[in-house]
Structure 1
Amino acid sequence: MALVPYDENLLPSLVKLHAASSDFRFAERSIRLAQDWRGGGVAAVVWDAAVVMCMYLELGHVNLKNRTAIELGAGTGLVGIVAALLGADVTITDRSLALKFLEANVKENIPSDLQGAVRVSELTWGESLERYASGGYDLVLGADIVYLEETFPALLRTLDHLSSENTEVLLACRIRYERDERFLSMLGNRFSVQEVYYDSERDVHIYSAVKKKTKPEL
């Protein structure tokens, strides 16, 4: 079930979310992602934040070659797929209910020679984090994952666990409500956060966060 109200007559601009698939061109490849709003809700459609994140990655602002990346709340998998096509070794994650749909999109869009560089894995924020290497990733990616305030503590624990002081966290999101600003403030307690990109047409911000260095004990 979708987590936000939707009425086709009231919000015609969101009709694209009801399309059975969505087509993109990134990393010199055509990408077609299946969508299923009615069956999978917000996790089964492509949101603008994911598109803007992919644009940002494709512009070369981040070095992806031979780097380890993990995508949180991947949904249809667009960001993780593009990161892999641009040279990263990627773990693409979401909750267990979304995995079958996510796996199908990854299989459809990752060429055979890159299959070994991509894996789909279950990750519910804040749970069983020991399954993932502490500080074991160069990049942590998230597109439109900052919207439910009750998930903020678990998301912050997850980001903290996955990141070392050399990890860059990239979050693409709209700032819709005061709670979104509160999340950035909470993130700033453990990370140095700065806005690195803004798409005015889609009203999507990209924030870069790097874990603050801990002071050595005297």
Structure 2
Amino acid sequence: MALVPYDENVLPALSKIHSSSAEFHFASHRLRLAQDWNRLGVAAVVWDAAVVLCMYLELGHVDLKGRAVIELGAGTGLVGIVAALLGATVTITDRKPALEFLSANVRENIPPDLRGAVQVSELTWGEGLQRYPSGSYDLVLGADIVYLEETFPALLQTLEHLSSEKTEVLLSCRIRYERDERFLRMLGKLFSVQEVHYDEQRDIRIYRAVRIKTKPEL
């Protein structure tokens, strides 16, 4: 999903996003992710926040083996793919227009013996959430999904639905505007939020959020 408006003439340094593919090495695997800016725009580009989150996962800050993971707004699928390679059972989600592209990247980069541990699924935030068991995920992942203010209520609703008090939410993002800070304040009303990592070179922060325990009714 989008993170910044893009004008190739104004921002030539971002011309790499027009490359048809991007290559990485994570979890002892060489990954080649197709990109297609012209057809799908920002949903089909590997952004820095995804790379930083993959690096964070690979360093073992989160135990992924055997855990149930869901990625939101997956785009190219890099984060979910890396989580699966590190031992998680992963549901990789995005909106319907991105699914064919996303599925192709998953098929290309997940070894046959691990494909049973990965599912690609349609999820528009705030819609059809009953298809996803409430609070049943150990880990919710999102890279550069905090940027459009009009999506904040639906994103918060989705995070709340997917999470129990034992669920960890990891959001990797670049804080650019006041609205980004506003989202973190909104998130903080439902979750305990802390910054757990900062990549200074890429100016990317990773936030960990856990549902605030609700007091039992008397």
CA RMSD between the two structures: 1.2
The number of residues matched between the two structures is 218
Deviation at 1:217, TM superposition (A): 1.5
Is it true that 1:87 corresponds to 2:87 in the alignment?
A: yes
In the alignment, the residues of structure 1 paired with residue 2 and residue 61 of structure 2 have an alpha-carbon distance, to the nearest angstrom, of 33
**Unpaired stretches in structure 2, ≥5 consecutive residues:** none
**1:44-91 deviations in Å (ceiling 9; x for gaps):** 000000000000000000000000000000000000000000000000
Give, in angstroms, the shift of residue 3 of structure 1.
Answer: 7.6
Contact persistence 2:49–2:172 (CA under 8 A): yes
What percent of counterpart residues are identical?
78
Q: Deviations over 1:175-212 (max 9, x none)?
A: 00000000000000010000000000000000000000
Report how far residue 216 of structure 1 moved: 1.2
Q: Structure 2 length normalisation: TM-score?
A: 0.98
* CA distance, structure 1, for counterparts of residue 197 and residue 11 of structure 2: 27
Match of 2:178 in 1: 178
TM-score by length of 1: 0.98
Match of 1:206 in 2: 206
Cα pair 2:77 2:102 within 8 Å, conserved? yes
Residue 6 of structure 1: CA displacement?
2.5
Give the 3-state SS of the residue equivalent to 1:201 in structure 2: coil
Q: Structure 1 unaligned segments of length 5 or more: list them.
A: none
Partner Cα distance (2:4, 2:69) in 1: 29
CA distance in 2, matches of 1:48, 1:3: 11
* SS of match in other structure, 1:8: coil
**What residue number does 1:67 align with?**
67
What is the CA deviation profile of residues 133-160 of structure 1, one whole-angstrom value per residue up to 9, with x for unaligned ones? 0001000000000000000000000000
Aligned partner of 1:141 in structure 2 is 141
**Cα distance between partner residues in 2 of 1:178 and 1:10:** 23
Q: CA deviation at 1:125?
A: 0.0
Change beyond 3 A, Cα 1:154–1:28: same
- Structure 1 segments, 4+ long, off by >6 Å, are none
